[in-house]
Amino acid sequence: MAKMSQTVKEITQVVVFLIIVGGLLLVFVVYPLNRTKAILARPGVDEYDPDSLPANNISAFADLAADVDTFRVDADGLTSLACVYLTPAVDSGVAPVELRGTAILIHDERQDRTAMIPLARALLDSGLAVCLYDQRACALSSGRYHSDGEYEAADLTEVIGYLRIRDRIIHPFVAAGRRAGADAALLAAVEEQRLDGVIAIEPYITSSRWLDILMAEHDMYWIPFRHTMFKFWYELRSDYAPVYRGSESLRPPQCRTLILDTEDQLADEAVSDYVQTADSGQIDTEPLPAEPDRLQERILTFITSLGPGQ
């Protein structure tokens, strides 16, 4: 009987040990590994083939009163960005419209460049040239995973270089982005002197805010060291090693900047710290208009305020 009791005790200890090990594996390996893929990978990443990307066609822009030119930019030797350059259309025999400026529009990383068509239409109607492109790991561009804005900023710089070489930049020249697209514009503008202005809609600002916002939006369960674990598995999956951006490492853009977000997000300490890194008046913050028409109007007003050739 005593021997049987000892056997039962040992079996119980082994079972408890296996349960603990299984729980740890679930919490620190399986769950964060699964969530990084669900949150930061492109849709259908398992079926993604970089050698068979769809054609960079203009069908999505057929309803715009615009002349359309498509092109691709090789961002880093591995990432090919599907881009389109739009100018207001003119009738044959009529002198071209004198462009009032140029805007690059960078979509929310959960969408693609077609999400920016309503804004592009408003800018075209106001006489601006517009460049749109699918961010890495989105739609017609290559790449399996998004980053927190660091790699997207490098992508934006490459697109700007492409436009500059081909004399397609008319000042004022602005970059307007949403979420990771907003961070791309803010980060690129730290060094990019060709930009006259940046419009950042719902930017993440810091890596911690990036992770917190994504985890909240996807209802991630709380786990110990969740930022560290999420970042570890993300880097392992994606092969990205972006610089971890904290409030202490923030650098302001070298141009006029407008940040649009909800009032509670604008009150966040990271956003306040970021605004304080710049000279007075260089970065403005305003509540994000709820209506698309009002947002388009505010963006146009900001671009107009820059004046020609600023």
310 pLDDT band, cuts 50/70/90, is very low
Q: Is residue 40 part of a domain?
A: no
- Are residues 171 and 178 in contact, defined by beta-carbon separation less than 8 angstroms? no
Distance of alpha carbon 94 from alpha carbon 284, whole angstroms: 40
Q: Evaluate the CA torsion angle 15, 21, 25, 31 in order and state its sign.
A: positive
% pLDDT > 90, the chain: 65
Q: Identify residue 260 by its one-letter amino acid code.
A: L
**CATH code for position 174:** 3.40.50.1820
Q: Is residue 251 part of a domain?
A: yes
Q: Is residue 3 part of a domain?
A: no
**What three-state secondary structure class fits 48?**
coil
The C-alpha atoms of residue 212 and residue 148 are separated, in whole angstroms, by 12
What b/e string do you get for 206-245 counting C-beta neighbours within 10 Å, with b at 16 or more?
Answer: bbebbbbebbeeeebeeeeebeebbbebbeebbebebeeb
Does some domain include residue 25? no
The pLDDT of 236-241, averaged and rounded, is: 82
At 119, give phi and psi (nearest 5°).
-70, -40
237/140: higher pLDDT: 140
**pLDDT above 80 for 24:** no
Residue with the bigger pLDDT between 96 and 132: it is 132
User: Per the domain annotation, does 296 fall within a domain?
Assistant: yes
Query: What would the pLDDT profile of 186-225 be if each residue is shown by its tens digit?
Result: 999 999 999 999 999 999 999 999 999 999 999 988 888 8
**What does the DSSP 8-state code read for residue 267?**
T
On the 0-12 / 13-18 / 19+ scale of CB atoms within 10 A, 192 is buried
Q: What is the DSSP string of 74-116?
A: ESSSS-EEEEEEEEE---TTSPPP----EEEEE--TTS-GGGG
Average pLDDT over residues 243-270: 92
Q: What is the pLDDT of residues 60-118, one digit of tens each?
A: 999 998 999 999 999 988 899 999 999 998 764 445 668 999 999 999 999 999 999 99
Q: What is the mean pLDDT of residues 48-57?
A: 88
Whether 20 is in a domain gets the answer no
Structural domain range at position 120 = 60-206+245-306
For residue 102, is it within any domain? yes
| Mean pLDDT over the full length of the chain | 89
Can you point out the beta strands (E) in 184-274? 197-201, 256-261
Q: Which pLDDT tens digit goes with each residue over 84-98? A: 999 998 764 445 668
**Contact (Cβ atoms closer than 8 angstroms) between residue 250 and residue 206:** yes
CA 78 to chain centroid, in Å, comes to: 18
Tell me how many domains the chain contains: 1
Nearest to 86 by CA among 130, 121, 133, 134: 130
In the predicted model, is pLDDT for residue 1 greater than 70? no
Nearest Cα residue to 204 out of 180, 227, 186: 180
Residues 65 and 120 sit within 8 Å (Cβ to Cβ): no
pLDDT class of 127 with cuts at 50, 70, 90: very high
Task: Give a yes or no: residue 216 inside a domain.
Answer: no
Which residues are within 8 A (CB) of 10 and not within 5 positions of it... i.e. 6 or more apart? none
| Amino acid letter for position 293 | D
